[in-house]
């Protein structure tokens, strides 16, 4: 009798909790694999409600590094890919995982640094020259080190500057292996220079006394692209709804929504769909 009530209670509790059931009422939803910069800057919170109100399609965003987002999408775990690493995106399409790639918007990377400016780079606009100076001074530099879009862009610039950062890893060159926000938290804590996209930096809440040291180099241009995951390769992809989202982002309305997003009066992303 007692035993029965013990296990009865346990199973009743389990039923009451409800093991399954969606947390949200929308039946129509798509999963977008995207990057931390678009999410952390608040862009998605600004533009997605506009799309959902218009179409009734809920957009679920998984925000990870570009490298991981591309791998997740290549596994078919997502309907749309919205990231910023053009070469990797074109390879994704060439491998048959994506239908086609379109430019969506851009912003730029900046290098932020401590007010003491140990490498004397503040005010420079030549990114590779600034990086050479940081390397020569062996001033601490915090890298994402996570195969993200920002990390790939940073490695390209180091290569152009002719600096072998792998050799300095663990010394003045420090790979956090984390997202942009975590790397900013770590880097500002250790007085290191950090390359970040401008959107994440403007909306970042823990800047301390850090300021932008290097900006304005066209090599630090940061292009975002959008790709519908290929339904022929991945049959579970919701091609109709995903295409609807891609079309909207590239439409005048979607582009205006992106342009209208501002933090502290500054526009974070500049639409350039063609």
Partner 1 sequence: MESFSAILAEALGLILSWDADVIEIIVLSLRVTLSAVAVACMIGFPLGAMVGAFRFPLRTGVIVVMNTMMGLPPVVVGLLVYLMLSAAGPLGVLGLLYSPTAMIIAQTILVTPIVAALTRQVIEDLYNEYSEQFTSLGVGPLDRVLALLWDARYSLLTVALAGFGRAVAEVGAVIIVGGNINHVTRVMTTTIALETSKGNLQLALALGMILLTIAVIVNGLLMAIRGTAARAAYV
Provide the binding-site residues for partner 1, judged by CB under 8 A: 2-3, 6, 10-11, 13-14, 17-24, 31, 36, 40, 45, 60-63, 72, 75-77, 178-182, 184-185, 203-207, 234, 236
**How many Cα atoms sit within 13 Å of 234 on the Cβ side?**
23
User: In the complex, what is the shortest distance from the CB of residue 7 to partner 1, in angstroms, rounded to a whole number?
Assistant: 8
User: In the complex, what is the shortest distance from the CB of residue 258 to partner 1, in angstroms, rounded to a whole number?
Assistant: 18
Q: Are 204 and 183 in contact (CB under 8 A)?
A: no
User: In the complex, what is the shortest distance from the CB of residue 58 to partner 1, in angstroms, rounded to a whole number?
Assistant: 8
User: In the complex, what is the shortest distance from the CB of residue 132 to partner 1, in angstroms, rounded to a whole number?
Assistant: 29
Separation of alpha carbons 156 and 177, rounded Å: 17
Q: Closer to partner 1 at the Cβ: 40 or 128?
A: 40
Q: Closer to partner 1 at the Cβ: 130 or 202?
A: 202
User: In the complex, what is the shortest distance from the CB of residue 172 to partner 1, in angstroms, rounded to a whole number?
Assistant: 24
Give the tokens for residue 113. 């640094």
Q: Closer to partner 1 at the Cβ: 24 or 265?
A: 24
Separation of alpha carbons 260 and 43, rounded Å: 10
Separation of alpha carbons 108 and 127, rounded Å: 12
User: In the complex, what is the shortest distance from the CB of residue 52 to partner 1, in angstroms, rounded to a whole number?
Assistant: 11
Angstrom distances, CA of residue 232 to CA of 74, 98, 99, 229: 12, 9, 9, 9
Q: Closer to partner 1 at the Cβ: 97 or 133?
A: 97
Q: Closer to partner 1 at the Cβ: 48 or 131?
A: 48
User: In the complex, what is the shortest distance from the CB of residue 268 to partner 1, in angstroms, rounded to a whole number?
Assistant: 14
Q: Closer to partner 1 at the Cβ: 13 or 265?
A: 13
Q: Closer to partner 1 at the Cβ: 120 or 240?
A: 240
Q: Closer to partner 1 at the Cβ: 133 or 145?
A: 145
User: In the complex, what is the shortest distance from the CB of residue 18 to partner 1, in angstroms, rounded to a whole number?
Assistant: 7
């Amino acid at each position: 009798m007692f035993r029965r009530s013990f296990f009865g209670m346990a199973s009743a509790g389990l039923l009451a909790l409800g093991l399954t059931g969606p947390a949200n009422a929308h039946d129509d939803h798509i999963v977008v694999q995207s990057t931390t910069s678009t999410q952390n800057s608040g862009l998605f919170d600004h533009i997605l409600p506009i799309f959902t109100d218009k179409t009734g399609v809920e957009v679920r965003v998984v925000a990870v590094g570009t490298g991981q987002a591309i791998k997740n999408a290549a596994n078919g775990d997502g309907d749309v890919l919205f990231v910023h690493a053009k070469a990797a995106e074109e390879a994704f399409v060439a491998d048959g995982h994506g239908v086609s790639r379109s430019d969506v918007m851009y912003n730029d990377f900046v290098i932020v640094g401590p007010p003491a400016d140990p490498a004397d780079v503040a005010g420079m606009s030549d990114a590779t020259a600034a990086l050479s100076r940081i390397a020569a001074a062996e001033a601490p530099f915090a890298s994402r080190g996570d195969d993200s879009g920002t990390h790939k862009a940073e490695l390209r610039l180091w290569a152009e500057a002719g600096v072998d950062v792998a050799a300095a890893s663990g010394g003045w060159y420090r790979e956090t292996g984390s997202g942009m926000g975590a790397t900013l938290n770590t880097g500002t804590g250790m007085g290191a220079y950090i390359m970040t996209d401008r959107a994440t930096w403007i909306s970042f809440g823990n800047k301390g006394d850090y300021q932008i040291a290097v900006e304005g180099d066209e090599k630090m241009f940061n292009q975002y692209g959008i790709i519908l995951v290929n339904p022929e390769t991945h049959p579970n992809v919701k091609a109709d709804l995903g295409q609807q989202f891609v079309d909207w982002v590239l439409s005048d309305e979607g582009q205006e929504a992106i342009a209208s997003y501002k933090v502290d009066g500054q526009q974070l992303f500049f639409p350039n769909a063609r």
